[in-house]
Amino acid sequence: MTQPGNVTQLQMSMCLMLDTFEKYAKTDGDPNSLSKSEVKTLLEKEMPGMISGAKDQKAVDDLFKALDFDGNGVMDFEEFMVVVAALTCAFRGPYLTCRNLSYCWGPILQK
C-alpha cells in the first residue's frame, strides 16, 4: 500500500483488493493471474481458517476449479473479484452481528 491521503473508504477497499491480488499474483509467472498455488497461499494468508481446515488437497482443487470460470487453469483479476464479491456477500450476515470478519470467519471447507 502506497496510498496518500484523499482516498475515500470505498476507494481504499478497492486499493486493498488490487494490492492483495498483485501481492500474490507476482510471486510466480504472470503477474496478471493467480496460479493454483498462488490462490492457495492467498486464501491461507488472507482468509485464515477458510481452507486451513480442509482435510486434503482435493477440497482446494475443487474450489479452484469452481473459481476458474474460463477454465484456463489460472485466476485472472476479474475472476478474483467475483470470488471476493461472493465471499463478502456470504459474510455480510455474520459481520452485521459481530462486526469482525476475523471472528465471524469459519472453516467453510471442513468436512
Judged by the rule CB under 8 A, the positions of this chain that interact with a copy of itself are 1-4, 6-20, 22-23, 42, 45-48, 77-78, 81-82, 84-85, 87-89, 91-92, 95-96, 99-102, 105
Nearer residue to a copy of itself within complex by CB, 13 or 58: 13
Minimum distance from residue 46 beta carbon to a copy of itself (Å): 4
Give the whole-angstrom CA distance, residue 98 versus residue 29.
39
Nearer residue to a copy of itself within complex by CB, 10 or 66: 10
Minimum distance from residue 19 beta carbon to a copy of itself (Å): 7
Sign of CA dihedral 18, 19, 20, 25: positive
Minimum distance from residue 59 beta carbon to a copy of itself (Å): 20
Start-to-end Cα distance in the chain: 36
Query: What is 29-79 written as a DSSP string?
Result: S-TTEE-HHHHHHHHHHHSTTTSTT-SSHHHHHHHHHHH-TT-SSSEEHHH
Nearer residue to a copy of itself within complex by CB, 58 or 106: 106
